[in-house]
């Protein structure tokens, strides 16, 4: 019976992670439809969220039926309910200004992966299998991106005939930003930085021969990052690699100082990224180089947009300052098509106000602390190691993009990966005998 339960957990987990990967590689479904349906994209991307919600609901009900309880990480539980309650209050406050369907779509657009987090239960995936899967899909994706760079051609359609799908900013002056099978070079770069975390785990942990191959892969990934011509991605890649080294040093020494440094690294990264960007245009390198990578035109456009939306948020009345304007950035949401913010902190503040921004920051920080805790509990779990290494960039990454979904999505991805138990692992010292059990394993990682 226990074997059947474990197999069912792994079945649910595999489907769950497969849908999440399709969400990450966000251009593959539209590109497939363009090829099949004569340039049209009849199936919208939101179908992935419906599929994700369905598998989460089925898995949750199965798990609850078997165990009679649902365990949530305790440090996230309280702030989650506060956040959910605030969204309800915000909905009521904004109903007089926006239609209900717009408000619901705005919450779905920004916070879907946070909202469903506590309901992901009864799933597990072997981290070693997932690492191999990432390599299996990562190498072909890099090959496509490299071909785009070498040929100076997108090679794939950059928009659909019906206008539903469009690759963002694929042309960069006289160059082509590699985007592979993603919706933009930025999304491709996110994946590459995450992939770098997997490569770093093998560089640090594996035997000499495997370490050499992983090092070669890391060099390939670094060049692939370059082909995106996106400064934010360069920063993310370097920060991910550095944090991987920090985790290795912490594992080797067990130093509390290194542990504390690891915890505050997202803040340090955020400060460094902000300073690097603010002072880029005054550096000697910029003055001496005519490289388009150092061109500050895009930064000036960002600053102008930020100033406009910041004034819209803070320059009105006290209610707007505290509870926001309700506006979101979303190309497929009515009233939000023209809103482009490129700063997640400003985006949340504009949408939910100071109160909502503070609560969002707290829940994101708790996600980070939880990930760091389960990584420290099992530093031999390569998948969690890689996800946490990438997650360390969340403040710096959110400064120059509206990637509100990406980091919470990776937190969801970590759940079935940390709940997998190898046959040889000892039973956790917590009530019950379910193997694997989200209750037991969350207890294990919470202690």
Mean of pLDDT values over 19-48: 92
CB 31 within 8 A of CB 188: no
Say yes or no to pLDDT of 422 above 80.
no
Nearest to 297 by CA among 199, 211, 405, 169: 169
Say yes or no to pLDDT of 319 above 50.
yes
Who contacts 201 (Cβ-Cβ below 8 Å, separation ≥6)?
A: 131, 214, 244, 382, 385, 386, 389
pLDDT of residue 271: 93
pLDDT of residue 280: 57
- Burial of residue 299 (CB within 10 Å: 0-12, 13-18, 19+) is middle
Mean of pLDDT values over 199-214: 84
pLDDT of residue 5: 72
Mean of pLDDT values over 212-224: 94
- How far is CA 312 from each of CA 206, 303, 320, 326, rounded to the nearest angstrom? 52, 14, 9, 11
Say yes or no to pLDDT of 436 above 80.
no
* pLDDT tier at 296, thresholds 50, 70, 90: low
* pLDDT tier at 231, thresholds 50, 70, 90: confident
Percent of the chain with pLDDT over 90: 55
Lowest-confidence segment of 23-27, 38-42, 424-428 by average pLDDT: 424-428
3-class SS letters over the chain: CHHHHHHHHHHHHHHHHHHHHHHHCCCHHHHHHHHHCCCCCCCCCHHHHHHHHHHHHHHHHHHHHHHCCCCCCHHHHHHHHHHHHHHHHHHHHHCCCCCHHHHHHHHHHHHHHHHCHHHCCCCCCCHHHHHHHHHHHHHHHHHHHHHHHHHCCCCCCCECCCCCCECECCEECCEECCCCCCCEHHHHHHHHHHHHHHHHHHHHHCCHHHHHHHHHHHHHHHHHHHCCCCHHHHHHHHHHHHHHHHHHHHHHHCCHHHHHHHHHHHHHHHHHHHHHHHCHHHCHHHHHCCCHHHCCHHHHHHHHHHHHHHHHHHCCCHHHHHHCCCCCCCCCCCCCCCCCCCCHHHHHHHHHHHHHHHHHHHHHHHHHHHHHHHHHHCCCCHHHHHHHHHHCCHHHHHHCCCCCCHHHHHHHHHHHHHCCCCCCCCCCCCCCCCCCCHHHHHHHHHC
């Amino acid at each position: 019976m226990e074997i059947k339960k474990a197999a069912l957990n792994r079945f649910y987990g595999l489907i769950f992670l497969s849908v999440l990967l399709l969400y990450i590689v966000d251009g593959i479904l539209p590109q497939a439809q363009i090829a099949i349906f004569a340039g049209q994209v009849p199936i919208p991307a939101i179908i992935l969220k419906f599929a994700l919600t369905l598998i989460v609901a089925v898995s949750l009900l199965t798990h609850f039926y078997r165990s009679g309880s649902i365990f949530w990480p305790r440090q996230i539980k309280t702030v989650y309910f506060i956040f959910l309650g605030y969204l309800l209050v915000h909905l009521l406050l904004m109903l007089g200004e926006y239609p209900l369907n717009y408000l619901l779509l705005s919450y779905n657009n920004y916070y879907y992966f946070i909202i469903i987090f506590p309901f992901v239960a009864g799933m597990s995936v072997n981290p070693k299998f997932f690492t191999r899967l990432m390599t299996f899909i990562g190498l072909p994706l890099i090959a496509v991106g490299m071909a785009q760079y070498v040929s100076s051609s997108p090679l794939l359609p950059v928009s659909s005939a019906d206008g539903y799908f469009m690759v963002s900013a694929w042309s960069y002056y006289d160059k082509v930003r590699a985007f592979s099978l993603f919706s933009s070079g930025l999304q491709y770069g996110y994946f590459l930085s995450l992939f770098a975390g997997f490569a770093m785990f093998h560089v640090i942990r594996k035997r000499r021969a495997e370490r050499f191959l992983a090092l070669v892969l890391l060099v390939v990934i670094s060049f692939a990052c370059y082909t995106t011509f996106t400064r934010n991605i360069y920063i993310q890649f370097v920060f991910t690699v550095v944090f991987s080294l920090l985790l290795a040093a912490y594992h080797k020494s067990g130093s509390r100082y290194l542990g504390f440094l690891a915890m505050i690294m997202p803040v340090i990264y955020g400060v460094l990224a902000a300073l690097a960007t603010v002072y880029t245009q005054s550096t000697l390198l910029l003055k001496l180089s005519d490289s388009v990578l150092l061109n500050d035109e895009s930064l000036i456009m960002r600053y102008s947009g930020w100033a406009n939306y910041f004034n819209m948020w803070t320059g009105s009345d006290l209610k707007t300052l505290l509870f926001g304007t309700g506006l979101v950035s979303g190309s497929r949401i009515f009233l939000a098509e023209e809103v482009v913010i490129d700063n997640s902190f400003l985006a949340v503040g504009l949408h939910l106000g100071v109160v909502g921004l503070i609560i969002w920051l707290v829940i994101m920080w708790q996600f980070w602390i939880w990930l760091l805790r389960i990584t420290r509990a099992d530093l031999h779990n390569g998948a969690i190691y890689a996800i946490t290494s990438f997650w360390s960039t969340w403040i710096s990454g959110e400064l120059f993009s509206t990637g509100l979904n990406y980091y919470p999505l990776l937190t969801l991805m970590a759940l079935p990966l940390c709940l997998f138990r190898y046959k040889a692992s000892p039973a956790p010292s917590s009530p019950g005998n379910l193997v694997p059990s989200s209750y037991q394993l969350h207890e294990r990682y919470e202690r």
